Amino acid sequence: MNKMSVKDLKDLKGKKVLVRCDFNVPMKDGVITDENRITGALPTIKYLLDNGARVTLCSHMGKPHSIFSAEVKLNKKDKAKVEKGETTAEAIIEKAKKDEPKKLTLAPVAKRLNELLGGKVVFANDVIGPDATAKRDALKNGEAVLLENLRFHWEEEKRDEGFCKALAYDAEIYVNDAFGTAHRSHASTAAIVEYGIIKTAVCGFLIEKELTVMADTLENPKRPFVGILGGAKVADKLNAISNLLEKCDTLIIGGGMAYTFLKAKGYEIGTSLLDEEKIDYCKEMIEKAEKLGKELVLPVDTVVTSSFPDPIDAPIEVETVDSDKIPADKMGMDIGEKTRALYASKIANAKSVVWNGPMGVFENPILAKGTVAVAQALADVYGKCTTIIGGGDSAAAIQQLGFADKVTHISTGGGASLELFEGKVLPGIACLNEKR
């Protein structure tokens, strides 16, 4: 993808730059528990500051109730409470108005950024209000301000043009470095450029890496090219399955979604997870693989148990059976030993691998062996094969399992990387300027 990056910008001294970051970091009691998204944004921010730009940073945090609009929407959990008569919508909203600005504020991120960047970052306690305006006006060359949570404004997700103009303020350059939200067509991710409010629009180093490594691998892979898809449901990855079948030489299926494929082959799958409406689709994909001469690899044996662990990491009794012999009262929870060896052998011969979705319930150590085996197989080919982890649960798994430094690239965006796997154009990237 031939998009301009911050490296293509000339003479940044004194230029006013708006940067869309992804600072949607996990928090507990007001403390950041994982700084990866913050440290991932540092190269772009440092580059702009070191070159004398006046930088405004913006990001969302979490999913606030729509408490700042006339159109209030409750999430599923709150709707259920209201339906059960446990509370009222009005009570939920009143509580959210008090709690969410405290829970979902970006103030802790600003504090940490300021520490990492040597005191060059201040925090604005609003997005387009008087504090943001005053602090943006006061910026000197090589200084930055982080605005409050964009999603405290309903206009962000609704692409409101007036909000886009206020957010842009006097910015001359727009930089998108939030790959995790590049699949969202919101005010700060796409509309601000699409409306022509800021005409110079480029990607930061984080998105540039995503495009260079992941997008280019999907378009021009070294072969053999192996795709690995896991996770719970076929429905979540319909387009990814079809698109990767056309691009890959071998497509490996694992996780809960594998059981719908096994059912499509005529196997009994006991009480395993099943997307009943997608059985015909799986049959079509099996036929498509045969027509294209591609290898579609399914589990040959399965780790089964009588019930889902509760809590999820609780000790459980398991056994391994062939995938066509799953007992009627058992559910598949992970790939078995023979399947682990089979999948590892496919990875061992590959020159390019993309992986999205775990092989089983990896949060439980007893059911994590399949996911560990795939991660180990990728680590074993490190340096000889381009290995890409497509964000989300598979990225979390490979980091938790200690293999993060043994893969080529871990994507910073689960939904965005999956849409790239699907062959979709991401709005937050499509709007950026092409290289001249």
Looking at 163, 186, 209, the residue that finishes a domain is 209
Tokens 């509370």: give the residue: 87
Given this model, what pLDDT does residue 370 score? 96
Range of the domain at 21: 6-64+104-209
Q: Are residues 192 and 245 in the same domain?
A: no
Given this model, what pLDDT does residue 72 score? 56
Is residue 274 situated within a structural domain?
yes
Q: Are residues 152 and 263 in the same domain?
A: no
CA distances from 41 to 46, 47, 204 (A): 9, 10, 8
Q: Are residues 200 and 238 in the same domain?
A: no
pTM: 0.83
Nearest-angstrom CA–CA distance, 178 and 23: 8
CA distances from 349 to 26, 205, 336, 345 (A): 37, 31, 21, 7
Is residue 88 situated within a structural domain?
no
Is residue 39 situated within a structural domain?
yes
Question: How far from each other are the two terminal CA atoms of the chain, in whole angstroms?
Answer: 13
Which residue in the list 254, 392, 414, 428 is annotated as catalytic? 392
Q: Are residues 176 and 38 in the same domain?
A: yes
Is residue 408 situated within a structural domain?
yes
Reported in sequence order, the residue ranges of 101-218 that DSSP labels E, i.e. its strands, are 121-123, 143-146, 173-176, 200-203
The ranges of the chain with pLDDT < 70 are: 1, 65-73
Nearest-angstrom CA–CA distance, 183 and 194: 15
Nearest-angstrom CA–CA distance, 375 and 402: 9
Q: Are residues 313 and 164 in the same domain?
A: no
Number of independent structural domains in the chain: 2
Which residue in the list 16, 103, 165, 415 is annotated as catalytic? 415
Q: Are residues 177 and 226 in the same domain?
A: no
Looking at 182, 209, 236, the residue that finishes a domain is 209
Is residue 84 situated within a structural domain?
no
CATH code at 161?
Answer: 3.40.50.1260
- Residue 28 pairs with which residues in a beta bridge? 31
Write the pLDDT tens digit of every residue in 192-218.
999 999 999 999 999 999 888 888 888
Our answer to whether residue 392 is catalytic in this structure is: yes
Q: Are residues 267 and 339 in the same domain?
A: yes
Our answer to whether residue 37 is catalytic in this structure is: yes
Looking at 153, 183, 209, the residue that finishes a domain is 209
Which residue in the list 95, 158, 165, 233 is annotated as catalytic? 233
Q: Are residues 18 and 155 in the same domain?
A: yes
Q: Are residues 272 and 320 in the same domain?
A: yes
Nearest-angstrom CA–CA distance, 97 and 94: 5
Q: Are residues 183 and 258 in the same domain?
A: no
Is residue 59 situated within a structural domain?
yes
Q: Which two tokens stand for residue 49?
A: 């500051």
Is residue 93 situated within a structural domain?
no
Given this model, what pLDDT does residue 346 score? 98
Q: Are residues 59 and 35 in the same domain?
A: yes
Nearest-angstrom CA–CA distance, 14 and 172: 10
Given this model, what pLDDT does residue 75 score? 74
Q: Are residues 153 and 60 in the same domain?
A: yes
Is residue 139 situated within a structural domain?
yes
Given this model, what pLDDT does residue 73 score? 65
Given this model, what pLDDT does residue 70 score? 44
Write the pLDDT tens digit of every residue in 136-147.
999 999 999 999
